[in-house]
Amino acid sequence: MNRVDGKVALISGGARGLGGMSARKLAEAGAKVVITDLREDEAAVTLAAIKSAGGDAKFFKHDVADEAQWAAAVKFTTDTYGGLDVLLNNAGIGGSSRPLEELSLDGWRHLMSINLDGVFLGMKHAIPAMKARAHLWPGGCSIISISSIMGLVGGARQIAYCASKGGVRLMTKAAALELAPAKIRVNSIHPGFINTPLLRSGAEAMNNSAPGRGQRFLDDAVSRHPLGHLGEEQDIAHAVRFLASDDSAFITGTEIVVDGGYTAQ
C-alpha cells in the first residue's frame, strides 16, 4: 500500500536503527526520502537497501546541533525533490547513567543540543517548506519527533535524558497548536526499549565493564514490558508511517506510545 505515495520525507539520524527502518518503510510506501546523519558508511547500507527495493532516497551529512546544517539539509531536500512534506526528528543520544551530582554541565548541554535543540531546529527550518505544500494533502504535512517512554516517566540516573525527551513531548504539543492553521500536524512517538544497535552496544559496554551486567540489564528491560519482549525497529517505523500518512489526518499534538505496556503499569 503506497500510503505516502508522492510525499517527500527528511529523516534525521536515518543511517541505522529506528531512523533507518523508518526510511525503508516510508520508501516502501512510496515516499522519496532524504536520510541525514553523521554515519556515512551505515547510511550507504540503508540507501542501498532502499534502492534495491525500488525506492528513491538520498543522503546528506548533517549534525543536528548545527543550525546552518539544518538549513542546508532542508535546502538539499527541496532542491532534490521539489519540496518537503514529512519531517522525522529521530537523531538522538542516550544519557550517561551517573548520579545527578556527578553530571557535568557540559555533558548536560551536549545531550540537550542533540535531543532537544536538534528537534527545535528541525521544526524551525522545515516549517517554511511545509507551508508551501501542506495544501496538497488531505492531512497536510507532518512533523514527527521521536521521544521516549522516559519522556513520560522518570528513570533513576537519567535526569538529562528524561528532561530532553519530556521537552520533546511538550514542544510537540506547543508546535501542533501553532501550526494547525497551516495544516502541519505535529506528533511525538514514545518507544519503549527497542532492539536497536544503540541498545545492543550499550549492553555490550556494560558487559565489558562487568561480565554479565549487560545481559542482566536486557533481562530486566524485558521483564518491565507486559508483552514479554523488547520492541523491534519496525514497530516504531510502522507508527512513523502512520503519522506520515493521511490515515492520521485528524491526529495532532499527541503522543503515540509504542512500549509493550511499559507505561500502563
How does pLDDT run along the chain (265 residues), one tens digit per residue? 568 999 999 999 999 999 999 999 999 999 999 999 999 999 999 999 999 999 999 999 999 999 999 999 999 999 999 999 999 999 999 877 788 999 999 999 999 999 999 999 999 999 999 999 999 999 999 999 999 999 999 998 899 999 999 999 999 999 999 999 999 999 999 999 999 887 888 888 888 888 888 888 889 999 999 999 999 999 999 999 999 999 999 999 999 999 999 999 9
Residues 219, 100 within the same domain: no
Residues 155, 189 within the same domain: yes
**Residue ranges making up the domain that contains 204:** 195-230
What values do phi and psi take at 86, rounded to 5?
-135, 130
CATH number at residue 150: 3.40.50.720
* 2, part of any domain: no
> Is 262 among the catalytic positions?
no
Residues 184, 244 within the same domain: yes
Query: What's this model's pTM, rounded to 2 decimal places?
Result: 0.96
Residues 70, 183 within the same domain: yes
Tell me how far CA of residue 10 lies from CA of 27, 152, 209, 215, in angstroms.
Answer: 11, 26, 37, 35
Residues 61, 143 within the same domain: yes
* 3, part of any domain: no
Report the b/e string of 175-202 with b at 16+ CB within 10 A.
bbeebeeebbbbbbbbbbbbebeebeeb
Residues 93, 120 within the same domain: yes
Residues 223, 163 within the same domain: no
Selected catalytic residue, list 70, 76, 81, 161:
161
Chain Cα centroid distance, residue 155:
20
Residues 43, 17 within the same domain: yes
